[in-house]
Structure 1
Amino acid sequence: MALARSTKILALGFLGSGVVHLVKPEVYEPIMPSWVPSHREVILGSGVAEIALAAGLLARPTRRLAGWGSVALLLGVYPANLKMAADAMQSDNTALKVAALGRLPAQWPMVRAALAATRRD
């Protein structure tokens, strides 16, 4: 069975985001909720997880497990997206508000793609 387009896109997104987490972790520090401990370590760990999940989604033997891991990761980082949206609403920058609010519903197609990967051979 050929790799689904949604799985390829999800894997590519995880790979890109994971690299940014590792190379420029300071990009993510402002959106970390205050209740999350050890911000830098969590950011670096999530970058490693994203890269591992990207590889897992691309490999048939690990795709199902990586799909479930992807669902967990996407749900786990959702509070950061909520914080980013709440912070953006305090800004005078309309583009920032639009981008931050747009991320919230954009997360759900990624969750659907991850769930679909759990059902593929």
Structure 2
Amino acid sequence: MSRSERSPLLLAGLLAAAGTAHFAAPRVFDAIVPRGLPGTPRTWTYASGAAELALAAGIALPRTRPVAANVAAAFFVGVFPANVKMAVDWRHRPAPLKSAAYGRLPLQLPLVLWARGVARGAGRRS
């Protein structure tokens, strides 16, 4: 399996793992839901987990990969405010936790670019 064939499956696996984590440990995700959103944090936690699982499935299937990967790129942009909230909330935590929270911020850009690359690659092969 070539790198270009592996990349979409790795992205799908990452999304599936993240989506599963939203259901397995929802309290962690509840805490980073921005307060201005309507509804309860748990609703947003489960909705974003379900979205990640759906995106994982869409990226895993070659037929839906281009659209799902583009939506994943938008999703990664959309969840950035939660990562900012986490960094702000964790600024007084011990150094390893604070570093993890701050480290998530610059990781969003590579995730967006990865998803866009998967979408472009899938579009060329279909």
TM-score past 0.5 threshold? yes
* Contact preservation (8 Å) 2:33, 2:44: no
In structure 2, the residue matched to 1:58 is 60
Q: Distance in 1 between matches of 2:80 and 2:111?
A: 12
Gaps of 5+ in 2: none
* Contact preservation (8 Å) 2:70, 2:119: yes
In structure 2, the residue matched to 1:84 is 86
Cα 1:31–1:62, aligned 2, differ >3 Å: closer, same or farther?
same
Q: Distance in 2 between matches of 1:68 and 1:36?
A: 24
Distance apart, 1:92 and its partner CA: 4.1
Q: Distance in 1 between matches of 2:6 and 2:17?
A: 17
Cα 1:109–1:5, aligned 2, differ >3 Å: closer, same or farther?
farther
Q: Distance in 1 between matches of 2:93 and 2:27?
A: 22
Q: CA offsets, 1:28-87, max 9 Å, x none?
A: 011111101221111111111101101111111000010111011111110000011111
In structure 2, the residue matched to 1:49 is 51
Task: Give the TM-score normalised by structure 2.
Answer: 0.87
Gaps of 5+ in 1: none
Identity %, equivalent residues: 40
Q: Distance in 2 between matches of 1:4 and 1:86?
A: 37
In structure 1, the residue matched to 2:95 is 94
Larger relative contact order (C-alpha < 8 A, sep ≥ 6)? 1
Cα 1:40–1:5, aligned 2, differ >3 Å: closer, same or farther?
same
Q: Distance in 2 between matches of 1:102 and 1:51?
A: 23
- What code does the residue aligned with 2:65 have? R
Q: Distance in 2 between matches of 1:11 and 1:79?
A: 22
Between 1:22-31 and 1:77-86, the stretch displaced more is 22-31
- What code does the residue aligned with 2:71 have? G
In structure 2, the residue matched to 1:16 is 17
Distance apart, 1:118 and its partner CA: 1.4
Task: Give the TM-score normalised by structure 1.
Answer: 0.90
1:109 and 2:110 matched = yes
- What code does the residue aligned with 1:46 have? S
Q: Distance in 2 between matches of 1:36 and 1:80?
A: 11
- Look up the SS of the partner of 1:31 in the other structure: coil
